[in-house]
Structure 1
Amino acid sequence: MESKKRKYLSILALSAAGGSIYLIPYIRYVFYDHQIAAMGITNQQLGLLTSIYAIGCMILYIPGGIIADKTSTKKCILISLASTTLLTVIYAFTLGYTASLAIWFLFAFTTTFVFWGSLFKTIRLIGTAEEQGFMFGLYYMGNGITGAIVNSIAIWATGFSEDMKSQFFNAVLIYAASTAVAAVLIWFLVKEDKERSKELKVNEFKLSQVGELIKNPTVWIFSIIIFAGYSIYSSTSYFTPYLTEVVGITPEESGVLSIFRTYLFYILAPVSGILADKVFKSTSKWFMFLFIILAALFAGVLMIPEGTGVVFVSIYTLLPGMFGLALYGVVFSIANETRIPAAVMGTAVGIASIIGYTPDFFMATMFGTWLDNHGAGGYNYIFIFLAFVCLVGCVASFFVRRRAKLVQDAEAAE
């Protein structure tokens, strides 16, 4: 078993990897106007880049997970970071739209294919069964801090140029440097546990296990929990336009609150992990509690009377972000409670991610349609939908808890 120092250094390196590798495919989140100006494209064309990337990711989740289960996870992560760095540099020096379509599809290979399953399998193997919540929480805290630091440096780097194309070029190179640094950290700080690897060899992954995993209802329940957690995490961003359009605060003020929801609350992820591990003694029980709280918070937005103070409403909208990140920050730690074998963890994550990350395909379009058709009233539809998703997540967590208890009782009876 790794020493405590080695565990934390490994999580630090993995946080740097996960926090940097996804910045470039989603660079529009921070440099939207810069990217359009630098590439000379339309909003629709920029959106197509994300769609191409999402389609590639969905295709590659399962095969990438299979490879992650059959090879060295450290090597998979290193290859992913190195190839992402190379593609990012190529993109910086081309910026042509046709080439970018190909690059964004290739980003699915470099950031998702073997990286995604390898990342979460490595995190799971670092800690004991009792530490899973804390380890995943620590990872997501580091992930958020990495994103905040790299984006701050990238924004600072834009100040060295006057035109938007040159500014964007500087930012892209900062992103490339971040994945290169992450690769160095992985190389030196992450050590593969030989003893745990030997344990996995006893039940080495076989292709036939893919069918077994697909037939396993626990894997699909795991998928639903990821879907619910990611839906909440990715949708709290709608509080940003809600505060400007409905509450009436300035875009600058709403932007500051958005930074809290996007970065600051990541710091709470380890606390969430400790609560799951030490207080609730079960991630699924902790999730049931969080999903109920979140459902009540989303429903509560609909009950805020007109004329309520701006400060109160602004602070209230931070709460779903805080509890949502507390949940999403440890969402993958529930895999241990599902009793999915570590030997097939990469594949299980791949299967679960196909369902879990489908919100990227339809949710933004659906929410946008509601807002276009109903104006400010569209937010009511959004919050009702999210409250319903929370209830579905609570039910799924209950089934995980129930199944885990049945297994524990059966083992105790033997």
Structure 2
Amino acid sequence: MTTLTTSSDKTAKPVDWSKWIRFALLVMAGGTIYKLANIKDAFYVPMQESMGLSHTEIGTLLSVNSIVATALFVVGGFLADRFSTRILIPLGLVGSGALGLFLSTFPGFNVLLLVFALLAVCSDCLVWPALLKSIRQLGGSKEQGRLFGLLEGGRGVVDTAVAFSALGIFVLLGSGTGGFRGAIAFYAIIDIAVGVLLFIFLRTAPAGAAVEEKKKKAGLAEIWQAAKLPQLWLVSFTVFMVYVVYCGLTYFIPYLTYVYGLPVALVGAYGIINQYGLKILGGPIGGVLVDKVFKGASRYIRLAFLLLLPVVAGLLLLPANPGSQVPAMIVTLLFSLIVFTMRGVFWAPMDEVGIPEGISGTAFGIACLVGYAPGMFAFMVYGAILDANPGAAGYHIVFLVLAGLALLGSLVATALTKVARKAKAAAAA
């Protein structure tokens, strides 16, 4: 273990550089593993032109990926508790990379369905629950908010860098079929490289032979043991409430475009700031607030939900005309920033409420199953509201729905805060 202390402070806690190297690699894994499954984010039109796909076919691929992912979250958590995360995470990354190299050959639609299903296996079953467990193991109870906040912010940095690098390769190779093939291959090679590095440097937190033997004997009982914990369901529903509000951020771009007449150039700049810049800022800000100010993620999330209410009020009161473009941009970005601070720390309560570390992988799998469920229906609900209510009225209804969800989320977070307080008192007794 590499450590460092300063001569002026002999009592300072040594810096564990190996820990932060592992953390950086986990952040890289989290920022790259979903790139191939979400390749439409930067290359929607090339997917259509080079692979001969319609809008419906692309939507079907994404739906298959989401359904398989949701079905396998719990399985992934179970695997994270049964097997070494040092094996699972690299296996998922290398598997995803191999699928990406095959994807660059542009197989037919029926084969693509299988590829996108297997990408979900690699990312949401093998990597994500194991990655969350590994992040939790890197620090003690006083570091959870910071670590998960830095994870989200770091993923934003990696996400941005990798996406723009792939875009650069696409342009360099002619912005056509060859460029798209090169961009896919780049994503694939990055996944494989990060997987190999993690296999070399990642170490499972020492838990002792007794714990490892318990894992081997426990089997499916771990899932039942985790599912019986009421505090796990509170964490899961808190994540659910944050995520269902997060899904609403998608509609700020068409809102500013169609209601406020935002120019195309500004729409692009706004999109980069809203989806990447605020993710980079929000996670670390949320982590620092949780660890240094609120001393608990559940307490901060409760307040953050309530802070969204006056922001929505501001959106509703703004005149729906081009003269209010700048204020509308500022208010929507403020809403997004608050949501990203919550996203950065919404896994930290796992430690606060006393989820046993021995079943934390299974617990994360169950929480992912519940917490990320809005991705399967929220966009359809918000879209239906907008289709049924054209113009500013539809967006205002969506914003009112978001306000109602935020209020409900604050109530769930309040219940979570009470449980966390009791768990802390019990641990101190």
TM, length-normalised to structure 1: 0.95
Tell me: CA distance 1:340–1:203, structure 2 relative to 1, closer, same or farther (3 Å): farther
Find the aligned partners of 1:167 and 1:411 in 2 and give their Cα distance: 56
Equivalent residues of 1:58, 1:354 under 8 A apart: yes
1:307-346 correspondence to structure 2 within 5 Å: 307=321, 309-346=324-361
Find the aligned partners of 1:263 and 1:198 in 2 and give their Cα distance: 42
Equivalent residues of 2:318, 2:324 under 8 A apart: no
**2:181 corresponds to:** 169
1:182-261 correspondence to structure 2 within 5 Å: 182-194=194-206, 196=207, 200-201=211-212, 204=215, 205-261=218-274
**2:5 corresponds to:** none
Q: Does 1:8 align with 2:10?
A: no
Q: Which of 406, 417, 425 is matched with 1:390 structurally?
A: 406
Deviations along 1:365-411, one digit per CA (max 9) or x if unpaired, are 11111111111221112111111221222111111110122233344
> SS of the counterpart of 2:53?
coil
Q: Which of 348, 357, 376 is matched with 2:372 structurally?
A: 357
- Return the letter of the residue paired with 1:216: L
Deviations along 1:126-159, one digit per CA (max 9) or x if unpaired, are 0111000111111111111111111111111112
Find the aligned partners of 1:165 and 1:385 in 2 and give their Cα distance: 42
- Return the letter of the residue paired with 2:139: G
**2:99 corresponds to:** 87
Q: Which of 386, 401, 407 is matched with 1:371 structurally?
A: 386
**1:105 corresponds to:** 117
**1:43 corresponds to:** 55
**2:416 corresponds to:** 400
Find the aligned partners of 1:200 and 1:319 in 2 and give their Cα distance: 45
Percentage of pairs with the same residue: 30
- Return the letter of the residue paired with 1:278: K
1:125-144 correspondence to structure 2 within 5 Å: 125-144=137-156
Q: Which runs of 5+ in 2 are unaligned?
A: 3-14
Find the aligned partners of 1:203 and 1:395 in 2 and give their Cα distance: 37
- Return the letter of the residue paired with 2:363: A
Find the aligned partners of 1:115 and 1:159 in 2 and give their Cα distance: 31
Find the aligned partners of 1:299 and 1:111 in 2 and give their Cα distance: 38
Deviations along 1:77-123, one digit per CA (max 9) or x if unpaired, are 01001100000001111332111011011111111112121000000
Find the aligned partners of 2:46 and 2:119 in 1 and give their Cα distance: 20
Q: Which of 248, 271, 278 is matched with 2:292 structurally?
A: 278
Q: CA deviation at 1:286?
A: 0.8
TM, length-normalised to structure 2: 0.91
Equivalent residues of 1:88, 1:176 under 8 A apart: yes
Q: Which of 153, 160, 164 is matched with 1:152 structurally?
A: 164
Find the aligned partners of 2:327 and 2:205 in 1 and give their Cα distance: 50
Which shows bigger deviation, 197-206 or 244-253? 197-206
Q: Does 1:300 align with 2:314?
A: yes
Find the aligned partners of 1:200 and 1:267 in 2 and give their Cα distance: 36
Q: CA deviation at 1:61?
A: 1.0
CA RMSD of aligned residues (A): 1.9
Q: CA deviation at 1:22?
A: 0.2
Find the aligned partners of 2:343 and 2:175 in 1 and give their Cα distance: 38
Find the aligned partners of 1:203 and 1:261 in 2 and give their Cα distance: 45
Equivalent residues of 2:232, 2:367 under 8 A apart: yes
> SS of the counterpart of 1:336?
helix
Q: CA deviation at 1:349?
A: 1.2
Q: CA deviation at 1:197?
A: 5.1
Q: Which runs of 5+ in 1 are unaligned?
A: none
Aligned residues: 412
Which shows bigger deviation, 403-412 or 390-399? 403-412
Equivalent residues of 1:34, 1:167 under 8 A apart: no
Tell me: CA distance 1:32–1:306, structure 2 relative to 1, closer, same or farther (3 Å): closer
Find the aligned partners of 2:62 and 2:279 in 1 and give their Cα distance: 24
Find the aligned partners of 1:200 and 1:404 in 2 and give their Cα distance: 25
Deviations along 1:248-273, one digit per CA (max 9) or x if unpaired, are 11132122111111111223212211
Find the aligned partners of 1:14 and 1:235 in 2 and give their Cα distance: 28
Deviations along 1:59-83, one digit per CA (max 9) or x if unpaired, are 1111121111011011100100110
Find the aligned partners of 2:245 and 2:194 in 1 and give their Cα distance: 28
